[in-house]
Structure 1
Amino acid sequence: MRINQETFAQHEPALRGAQPLLGQDDRPFKAVSVQSGGLMLHHPRVRSRSDLAYLYTDGSGIWAQPLPTEFDKDIEPDERLRVLQADVLVHRLLSALAFLATHARDRCGATGTVSIEVDLVDRMYSHPYAPPEPYPRPGQPRPGHVYPLVLQQTSPFPPSEFLCRSAQGEATAVLDDLTDAGTGLVQAGSLLADQLFHAFGIAEAAPLTNQGEIRLPAWRQNVQPGITTWADHQGVPLTDH
């Protein structure tokens, strides 16, 4: 992808107005900037806690996503756990695969097979490629306590057996399968999600099947309508088993 004034003017409005979260109308990116090697998508006002994406000119890309978690404030601070809902993790993973694949194929003309890596970390400095965590300067507050992650699936699917600080998954996929956002996307997402879930002691990511289906009972009721509408539109089969 060549970046110049003409191509930036062409891509910037579409990227700034993109709704990449499947089945949702949210727009996580408010600004698009030129960076060395490509484009950066971000939210200038809340950049330290917002989605951040880099779309490189060779078709590669990365999307860092702050996932919403919950914890029980009534529990003693030393015993608190951060609960990550399984359908949130899976939904964000599918959305990232489709969004980055679209950039690779439709903007950069990439074809064939792509390599994918996904990393889940409890905070930025837990990432294997992150820089060393800086020490606070005198007078600055120390970073808050980071609570370990647990992964919560809807009943009757099994919950986490282990706490987790980080998890990683790797896979290859056909680029067109990801960009077309059909059963091929769900199959690739299932393979990657299973690897992340294994770090929590869960054998399979219940929201997806390896046949490329959406397992609807594994999604919470408040998010079922959105994922169902998306699946119907893309021809992705739904299953109750």
Structure 2
Amino acid sequence: MRPEVDLQFVEPGEVVYKLLCALPFLAGHARDRTAASGTAVVKTVLVNDIASHPDASMHTVAEYRDPLPVAVDHLYHGTGRRLPTSTQPCEYAYSEATVLLDDVAGHDRELLQAAAVLADELLHAYGIPQTGLIATDGQLRTDGFTDRNRGAVAEWARQHNLLEAT
């Protein structure tokens, strides 16, 4: 018999990976398609369900009245089993950072710094001080990602010359 599920969880590497994918795409779009330049405020949210977002219309998501809270937990390497890391689950976490569009769109070290700030601030809501995956100086720690996304992150970092020489 399986235990009843009382929360959802996401792994810190998934949060960082999504930011590394989305930030340069959105910054490049703003810069290249809309001719934006200079600084931009990036706002991120991590929600358990769209119904928990403050801007969600409860009329369009009536079936989501009681979504499960989310925890951010690490996974054991190899086994994939959950290692409880969060001190508390949340329904909604928010972060923001001011970035230079050219730096973030250019897949430079500044992209890693922006992703680190945004991800770390999101994880504060779960009682986690930082992801440990990107240092605030922009050093990527690919070995901290799970088996699920470590290879993709390492390959992406190699393509953009963002891996530290060892």
Q: CA deviation at 1:187?
A: 0.2
**CA deviations over 1:131-187 (Å, ceiling 9, x no partner):** 234586xxxxx5485211110124599811111110000110111111001211010
Unpaired segments of 5 or more residues in structure 1?
Answer: 1-72, 137-141
Specify the alignment match of 1:198 in structure 2: 124
- Name the Cα RMSD after superposition: 2.5
Q: CA deviation at 1:76?
A: 2.4
Change (3 A) 1:158 1:134: closer
Counterpart Cα distance in 1 of 2:121 and 2:105: 22
Q: CA deviation at 1:108?
A: 1.7
Structure (1 or 2) with the larger CA radius of gyration:
1
Instruction: Report the secondary structure of 2:154's partner residue.
Output: helix
Q: CA deviation at 1:217?
A: 2.5
Whether the 8 Å CA contact 1:213–1:239 is kept in 2: the answer is no
Counterpart Cα distance in 1 of 2:42 and 2:33: 18
**CA deviations over 1:49-71 (Å, ceiling 9, x no partner):** xxxxxxxxxxxxxxxxxxxxxxx
Change (3 A) 1:112 1:221: same
AA aligned opposite 1:178: V
- Name whichever of 86-95 and 188-197 sits farther off: 86-95
Specify the alignment match of 1:96 in structure 2: 22
Whether the 8 Å CA contact 1:161–1:202 is kept in 2: the answer is yes
Percent of aligned positions with the same letter in both sequences?
Answer: 31
| Corresponding position: 1:87 with 2:8 | no
Specify the alignment match of 1:151 in structure 2: 72
Counterpart Cα distance in 1 of 2:40 and 2:64: 37
Specify the alignment match of 2:48 in structure 1: 122
Q: CA deviation at 1:221?
A: 2.1
| Corresponding position: 1:219 with 2:145 | yes
**CA deviations over 1:172-224 (Å, ceiling 9, x no partner):** 01111110012110100100111100000000112211111211222012321
Counterpart Cα distance in 2 of 1:173 and 1:150: 27
Aligned length: 161
Instruction: Report the secondary structure of 1:87's partner residue.
Output: helix
Q: CA deviation at 1:83?
A: 1.4
**Normalised TM-score (structure 1):** 0.61
Counterpart Cα distance in 2 of 1:128 and 1:199: 16
Specify the alignment match of 2:135 in structure 1: 209
| Corresponding position: 1:76 with 2:11 | no
Whether the 8 Å CA contact 2:51–2:65 is kept in 1: the answer is no
Counterpart Cα distance in 2 of 1:232 and 1:127: 35
Whether the 8 Å CA contact 1:181–1:234 is kept in 2: the answer is yes
Specify the alignment match of 1:183 in structure 2: 109
